[in-house]
Every structure is written in C-alpha cells, then in structure tokens.
Amino acid sequence: MAVAGIAGMLASIAGAEVAVRFPRKTMVMLIMGVSCLISMTIGFSAGLDPAWLAVLCIVYTIFFQGDSAAIHAGVITAARPDLRGATMALQSLGGFGAAALGTIAAGWVLDLSGGGHTFFSWGLTFASMGLAAALGVILVARTAD
C-alpha cells in the first residue's frame, strides 16, 4: 500500500505536468479512460499470482490518481481570481464527497454480489468503480476547452 500511495502521488504530479505539455482535456480523458479499462478488468483478475495482482493494483492506482493534479490545475486556472479559494474549496468538497459516496457504492455492490467470496463479486465491484471513471470521461468531454 505504501508503494501504491507513493506511486499515486507521483502520478498525480506527473499527470499535471503532462497536461501542461499536451491538451489538458485530452490528457484527463485519456488517463480516466485507462483507469476505467483497468478497473473493469482488475476485479476479474483476482485469481492471478499475488505478485502480478499487486503490480496491477499499483498500475491502477497510478491511473486513478493520475488526473487529479491536472484537474485541480485546470479548475484553478479557470476560476476567477477573486474566487479561487472558494472554487478550490468547492472542488475539494465535491471530490472528497464523491470519494466517500464511491466507497459506499463499492461496498454495496460487493455485498449485493456475494460479499467478495467470488471473483465475479470482486469483478462487479471494480467494474462499478470503472463506471465512475467512464462517467468522468463523459463529463470532461462535455466541458468547454
């Protein structure tokens, strides 16, 4: 978990740097899209060798954290200078609120699909998280450049 946490933090910083060099919207959508694809497969991969599964989890962490700083930088850039603090506060509230609801939703899916006793149960749980990333791609695509 420590390796995944550090990798996620570095991925967030790297995601922001990539978004400065390339179109932010495209990069955020790409990172979210890859996160979605990994999430849709990771739960069904529970039968892999634990070492490979750990690597897959770290890669997943890199992608689901990779868009964070790019989104934050975009929000700050787009905010009116006199409302940057309030904008950042509202964005943080929304982000942490969504994260809290996401854990509840994932737990609900896990419970309803067998409590994690099968690969199918874990597959559906991670797929539900992938759907959230897919929704992110759709919402970002609908924003102005």
What's the pLDDT tens digit per position in 14-36?
A: 888 888 888 888 989 999 999 99
- Scanning the structure block, which residue is given the tokens 């899209």? 33
User: For residue 118, is it left (φ>0), alpha (ψ between -120 and 50) or beta?
Assistant: beta
Among residues 113, 108, 77, 75, the alpha carbon closest in space to that of 94 is found at: 75
The Cα–Cα gap between 20 and 95 comes to: 21
CATH T-level topology, domain 2-141: Growth Hormone; Chain: A; (1.20.1250)
pTM, entire model: 0.86
Task: Please state the domain extents for the chain.
Answer: 2-141
What pLDDT score was predicted for residue 85? 94
